[in-house]
Chain A
Amino acid sequence: MIWYLCKKAIILLVSLFCVVTGTFFLMKAIPGDPFADERITEEALKALHAYYGLDQPIWVQYLKYIKGYLSMDFGRSIVYAGRSVAQLISDGFPVSAQLGLQALCVAIPAGIFLGAWAALKRTRWQDNTAMVISTIGISVPNFVLATLLQYFIALKLHLLPVARWGTFAHSILPTIALAALPTAFIARLTRSNMVEVLQQDYIRTAAAKGIPLFRIAMRHGLRNAILPVISYLGPVTAQILTGSFVVERIFAIPGLGEWLIHSIYNRDYPVIIGITVFYSTLLLVSIFFADIAYSMLDPRIKTVHKRDDHG
């Protein structure tokens, strides 16, 4: 167990180092000067370089960057004068986080319910229905789903606001659009685990004792079947993150994803580096904790790898 924890921690640290270092050098290796412009004078260019610390040797910049990373300080934006990257993150991230958490709160119960239901009614119409729903959930790209929801529910039926961010009503459609893929994913996972669990001897024993099917499913089946779902919360976080880029774009939500996309259009390197590294850290740490939580909760400590779907 200790060895397993250490191994995971080492992988986390190595991955973090690779991502953080790789991001820095990749961005530094891009040819051209972010401030290059015919209208700018030589002195102004020098002053700008000094202001952003670009006049120092690369390893000094790197050490400063690592130091900044450890305190989550990524310097200042090139395009939005006077704004720091940390400020952009603290503006945008709460919005994205709220959306993501709401989506998780929908996806986890809905996915587990759908999967468990399908497993209990295996090979009957309920199973097929649930699996068709989940295959559709996996197959409909999130930007298609989001636009369809926007078109029919907001534009045609006027039930909910079309876009923008503010009240809870504004967040309903984005949440649904974001939750669809993780729901489908969790449903499939729960189903296959539950089918496996229901074939175990202790389930037969419980049934032989005369415990009603519903109670067996709840007490013995579901409890063991949803355990592996925990270890998938890492990939699920990645899916929600990917989805948030699209959903924030479609519903004009001022989240962190929108800032990142804009910073790419604008070639605002400090912002690109800052948000990428921030998001990567978030993902790596959540995968780490999901793994740890799973191995702690599972009495059999399985360390085998399982596949995951796109996202």
Chain B
Amino acid sequence: MIMDDFLPRTAIQASPETAPPSLSYLQDAWLRFRKNRIALVCLGVLLFLGLMAIAGPWIRPYHYSAIQLELKNQPPSWQFWFGSDDLGRDVFCRVCWGGRISLAIGLAAALIDGVIGVIWGASAAYFGKYVDEAMMRLCDILHTIPLLMTVILLTVFMGTGLKTIFIALAINGWLNMARITRAQILQIKQSDYVTAARAVGASPFRIVFRHLIPNALGPILATATLTIPASIFTEAFLSFLGLGLQAPIASWGVMINDGISAMEFYPWRLFFPSAMITLTMLSFNLMGNALRDALDPRLRS
């Protein structure tokens, strides 16, 4: 034992070669996301499904609602990749068309809910006190009103269709986002750099949009990703019950409802749309969970 062991330790100057590269938040999140094999597979599946939804109807020589009665209920073959239905319509084209509808609804709902929810939650958290209390109580009340009942009443009131589904999803879809944003921002608001920004005279607008929202982005993105499958489900559920999109439109819910009556003899009419919606929802859910983990700053390496 030598005296050196008892000397206070001085900081080790890391040489540039051995120091870990400094990464931005998003770079770091991407690195961790990439390590998650399941999430990568899901991303791949979703990209493929998206491509199929966009390009699918163009690469086949059929229109999704073109009726060919002499070719009805054909099993899957080279002519009809996924078979044909009771009116001779190509199931592959219809499934792709349904994918366009579902993805559009999911993405649009995530965007609408995200924008409303983030602005609402951020304002509540930023202004605090009575404003916060009033805004969050309103959320509580809206939150107890069941989505199903809103949708049913709106369907009766406005008739079925895409517009009804969007409005119903927008009415209470953003509540979750508002709560999560608020919780995040309340936490960040306490941090020193926000105090510093306020001290140098930054406007509230600048503080909210420049400091608070970007730093709360992780959970917001993860929540938005998880909104997508929920919205896709809601549309398919309504269409399945006959309260959403209506028959000639090829929504997955409509196709599954049609397929049930024929499942004993023509199971492909039920199988393909079911498989597509399951695959889509599964991928979005798994990817959302992986994103939540990857974007969680507490798990940063």
Partners in one complex: yes
A residues sitting closer than 8 Å to B (CB atoms) are 11-12, 14-15, 18-19, 22-23, 26-27, 29-30, 135-136, 138-144, 147-148, 150-151, 155, 238, 241-242, 245-246, 249-250, 260-261, 264-265, 267, 272, 276, 279-280, 283-284, 287, 305, 307-310
**Does the CB pair B153–A276 fall under 8 Å?**
yes
Stretch at the interface among B78-86, B90-98, B237-245: B237-245
Is A14 within 8 A of B141, CB to CB? yes
| Residues of chain A lying within 8 A (CB to CB) of residue B267 | 151
Known: A12-B144, A272-B156. A141 touches B236 (CB 8 A): yes
In the complex, the answer to whether B242 meets A265 with C-beta atoms within 8 Å is yes
Q: Apart from A18-B145, A19-B149, what 5 extra A-B contacts exist at CB < 8 Å?
A: A12-B144, A139-B286, A144-B256, A147-B270, A249-B240
Closest chain B CB from A273 CB (angstroms)? 9
B141 touches A15 (CB 8 A): yes
Chain A residues lying within 8 Å of B155, measured Cβ to Cβ, are 264
Is residue B176 contacting chain A, with contact meaning CB distance below 8 A? yes
B167 within 8 A of A: no
A27 and B137 alpha carbons, distance in the complex (Å): 26
Q: Which residue of A lies closest to B176 (CB)?
A: A307
The complex places the Cα of A27 from the Cα of B259 at a distance, in Å, of 33
Nearest chain B CB to A259 CB, angstrom units = 12
Inter-chain contact A260/B152, CB cutoff 8 Å:
yes
Expressed in whole angstroms, the Cα–Cα distance for A12 and B270 within the complex equals 42
Convert B264-286 into 0s and 1s, putting 1 for each residue whose CB lies closer than 8 angstroms to a CB of A.
10010010001001100110011
* Count of inter-chain pairs, beta carbons less than 8 A: 127
Dominant secondary structure of chain B at its interface with chain A = helix
- Tell me if B99 counts as interface (CB < 8 A to partner A): no
Contact between chains at B282 and A141 (CB < 8 Å): no
Known contacts: A242-B237, A246-B240. The answer to whether A155 contacts B144 by CB under 8 A is: no
A22 and chain B: residue at smallest CB distance: B153
- Name the B residues within 8 Å of A150 (CB-CB): 263
Point out the residues of chain B lying under 8 angstroms from A30, CB to CB.
Answer: 156-157
- Asked if residues B146 and A144 are in contact (CB atoms below 8 Å), the reply is no
Question: A264 contacts B264, CB within 8 Å?
Answer: no
Cβ contact of B149, chosen from A12, A276, A307, cutoff 8 A: A276
Distance, CA A308 to CA B148, complexed state (A): 15
Partner of B156, one of A27, A141, A144, A279: A27
Residue in contact with A279 in the complex, picked from B146, B157, B233, B241, CB distance below 8 Å: B146
The residue from A23, A136, A245, A305 contacting B153, defined by CB atoms under 8 A apart: A23
CA distance A27 to B263 in the complex (A): 37
Partner of B285, one of A138, A265, A305: A138
The CA-CA distance from A124 to B256 in the complex, in Å, is: 37
In the complex, A307→B182 CA distance in Å?
12
Partner of B278, one of A12, A27, A141, A308: A141
B230 near A249 (CB under 8 angstroms)? Answer: no
Please tell me if the beta carbons of A249 and B241 are within 8 angstroms of each other in the complex.
yes
Q: 9 closest A-B pairs (Cβ-Cβ)?
A: A310-B230, A139-B282, A139-B281, A15-B144, A144-B274, A139-B285, A283-B146, A280-B149, A15-B141
Contact with A along B249-268 (1 / 0, CB 8 A): 00001001001100110010
A141 touches B281 (CB 8 A): yes
B229 located at the interface, meaning its Cβ lies under 8 Å from any Cβ of chain A in the complex? yes
Cβ 8 A contact of A261, one of B233, B243, B285: B243
CB pair B233–A310 under 8 Å, yes or no, is yes
Please, how many angstroms separate the alpha-carbon atoms of A236 and B253 in the complex?
23
Q: Which residues of B contact A14 (CB under 8 A)?
A: 141
B152 touches A264 (CB 8 A): yes
Chain B residues lying within 8 Å of A241, measured Cβ to Cβ, are 146, 148
Docked complex Cα distance between A141 and B278 (Å) = 7
For the complex, what is the distance from the CA of A241 to the CA of B270, rounded to whole Å?
Answer: 24
Contact B260 A147 (CB under 8 A): yes
CB atoms of A151 and B270 under 8 A apart? yes
Residues in A neighbouring B148, C-beta threshold 8 A = 238, 241-242, 245, 279
Across the interface, which residues of B come within 8 angstroms of A276, CB to CB?
149, 152-153
Contacts of B180 in A (CB 8 A): 307
Chain B residues whose CB sits within 8 angstroms of the CB of A155 once the complex forms: 263-264
> Are A141 and B277 also in contact (CB < 8 A) when A155-B264, A280-B145, A287-B144 are?
yes
Residues of A within 8 A of B264 (CB): 155
Closest-by-CB residue of A relative to B229 is A139
For A261, the closest partner residue in chain B by CB is B241
